[in-house]
Homo-oligomer: A and B are copies of this chain.
Amino acid sequence: MTALSSDLLTRQANLLLILASPISPAGGVGGKRRDRVLTLDNMNPNVKRVEYAVRGPIVQRAVQIEKELKAGVKKPFTEVIKANIGDAQAMGQKPITFLRQVLALCSYPELLEDKKFPEDAKKRAQRILEACGGNSIGAYSASQGIECIRQDVARYIERRDGGIPSNPDNIYLSTGASDAIVTILKLLVCGEGCDRTGVMISIPQYPLYSAALADLGAVQINYYLDEDNCWSLDVKELRRALSAARQHCNPRVLCIINPGNPTGQVQSRQCIEDVIRFAKEEHLFLMADEVYQDNVYAEGCKFYSFKKVLFEMGPEYSSTVEMASFHSTSKCYMGECGFRGGYMEVINMDPEVKAQLTKLVSVRLCPPIPGQALLDLVVNPPQPDEPSYTTFMKERTAVLATLAEKASLTEQIFNTVPGITCNPVQGAMYTFPRITLPQSAIDKAKEAGQAPDMFYCMRLLEEEGICLVPGSGFGQREGTFHFRMTILPPTEKLKVVLQKICEFHLRFTQEFS
């Protein structure tokens, strides 16, 4: 994100939030403000710099509109469609039966006597309960996560990566992937001025990264993905960004999101090798955000984990490059966002640092146990000889097939419209099409103190009830405009949404031409 659009966004967010907050007669923005202990002027400045567009002002306005609709206010639409966030079940995706059966059994073990539940679900629940303090998911676990679940995660990684060993001691369960990502960044940030830790992130990026870096006071180093080449990553661009950054900070970390969020690309094996070689040469800690590892749709694309590639590059790499890889229960075929489950695997981490990491996570006691249990089922799903296997596979396959269909549908429909250019959605859950905006719309937005794509998305929300996130919330090349939309609405609804956006785009273009 450019400094300008970032600043605009912040001001706008503040304004909207102030307008939305009831100001009590006893204080508020007016007279008594100087009397308060905690004000905008004397609060943590890093927090003020934090931005998180996925839940930013546009989503707040969407929630408001929903309330207005409920209260009977007439609108040109009857419901708000929230395509702003990768929240599959909110969009109607059904939970996987096996996962929820085991969770019910863990929550209320009296059900273990119930004949309705399949034996493999009961066996999984019993195993999880036996690993819990007092045989209850109401007890704290070890801060790193329940040991037998960490073992299951390690075995899952070994299967995924064709037998490359994984050590359960290197697995840390987490509260969603966000928690683990912030924790690793926190370990890495130090220094002042030109020695301050710099962290390389892709542009466009998932704004958790920029938010965490602002919060930690680290330096954000932008490298741009190549939109003309299907959002691919070019090591030349990494080199450019790194050498520019070395003038003013101490770059120590390289973050990669693969499959990409918000851009939906899937990295080639060759590209991953190049990135790893770059990280080694330039002495960077690698953070591989691989939460969409099961979400690969495009023909010829395949998910390669950074760890697998690292180990296949031989001991020169596999025994030296420091890395953390992140996964989550929120995405893939299960979409269990609400449980906040996840894990990370750390590789080649200094044992003394690992001890500090273990200490640090202990302060928050432990990740939520239902999320840990869920993760265990994801990494240890029903096997072909177990009673739940058929249903489980049917449900899983159906979700992934539908996502693949919607990914291709999205690309096709958007690309029919002049002024919308859309790369293939190779993986993940989003499309990030580029939109051409008339100059007069750009001017109008600037007058209103809004980023032009925010102006566009706000208009779309007001006119069609569709909630997207402006590209400026993820970062984009100066002078280009985008939005992020999830491909998660049910197919028929998605078609309508796409159609409406296309029509809106034509209308908007006409209005401002």
**B169 adjacent to A22 (CB under 8 Å):** yes
Cβ A100 vs Cβ B108 within 8 A: yes
- Kindly state whether residue A4 has any CB partner on chain B within 8 Å: no
A73 within 8 A of B: no
Closest B residue by C-beta to A15: B355
| List of B residues within 8 angstroms of A105 by Cβ | 104
Q: Is the CB of B337 within 8 A of A139?
A: yes
How far apart sit A91 and B175, CA to CA, in the bound complex (Å)? Answer: 24
A104 contacts B111, CB within 8 Å?
yes
Does A290 interact with chain B (Cβ within 8 Å)? no
Which chain B positions have C-beta within 8 A of A47?
186-187, 356, 360
Chain B hits for A40, CB < 8 A: 350, 352-353, 356
Tell me, in angstroms, the Cα distance from A90 to B187 when the chains sit together: 31
Partner of A104, one of B108, B189, B363, B368: B108
A3: Cβ under 8 A from any B Cβ: no
Whole-angstrom distance between the Cβ of A240 and the nearest chain B Cβ: 21
Decide: A176 and B320 in contact? CB cutoff 8 A: no
Q: Which residues of B contact A187 (CB under 8 A)?
A: 38, 43-44, 47
**Chain B residues, CB < 8 A from A142:** 63
In this assembly, does A50 line the interface, its C-beta being within 8 Å of a C-beta of chain B?
A: yes
Check A358 for interface membership: any CB of B closer than 8 A.
yes
A307 to B42, CA, bound (A): 24
A43 surroundings in chain B (CB, below 8 A): 187-188, 190, 353, 356
Return A364 CB to nearest CB of chain B, in Å: 6
User: A396 CB to closest chain B CB, in angstroms?
Assistant: 15
CB contact under 8 A between A352 and B208, given known A133-B90, A141-B338 = no
A445 in the interface (beta carbon within 8 A): no
Q: Is the CB of A138 within 8 A of B108?
A: no
Cβ of A453 < 8 Å from any Cβ of B?
no
User: When each residue 128-168 of chain A gets 1 if its CB lies under 8 Å from chain B and 0 otherwise, what string results?
Assistant: 00001110111111110000000000000000000000000
In A191-235, the 8 Å CB interface with B consists of: 208, 211-212, 215
A28 touches which of B169, B208, B322, B351 (Cβ 8 Å): B351
Give the one of A92, A108, A367 with max B CB within 10 A: A108
The stretch that binds B, out of A29-37, A260-268, A462-470, A492-500, is A29-37
Within 8 A of B (CB), among A327-359: 334-340, 348-356, 358-359
CB of A167 to closest CB in B, whole Å: 8
A23 at the interface (CB under 8 A from B): yes
Q: Is the CB of B320 within 8 A of A35?
A: yes
Contact bitstring A9-49, B, C-beta under 8 A = 1, else 0? 00001100110111110111100110111111011110110
- Given B188, B315, B339, B355, which contacts A44 in the complex, CB threshold below 8 Å? B188
Closest-by-CB residue of B relative to A90 is B133
Interface pairs A-B: 8 shortest CB-CB: A90-B133, A17-B355, A338-B369, A26-B319, A104-B108, A21-B351, A90-B139, A55-B362
